[in-house]
Amino acid sequence: MGFMYAAYSVVWVVIFGYLLILGKRHNDLRKEIEFLKQLEK
């Protein structure tokens, strides 16, 4: 049962890390889009 708990925990840590990375990339893209919109004006 210990291995199952460990695997479950690792999967959740990986999912959480992936979501953090996606969030950071999303924010970076949003900032770049705003910058490009400012250049357009």
> Integer distance in angstroms from the first to the last C-alpha of the chain?
61
Structure confidence by residue, pLDDT tens digits, 3-35: 999 999 999 999 999 999 999 999 999 999 999
Classify 21 in phi/psi space as left (phi over 0), alpha (psi -120 to 50) or beta. Answer: alpha
pLDDT, position 20: 98
How much is the pTM? 0.73
Query: Alpha helix locations (H) across 1-41?
Result: 2-40
Distances (CA, A) of 30 to 3, 9, 27, 37: 40, 32, 5, 11
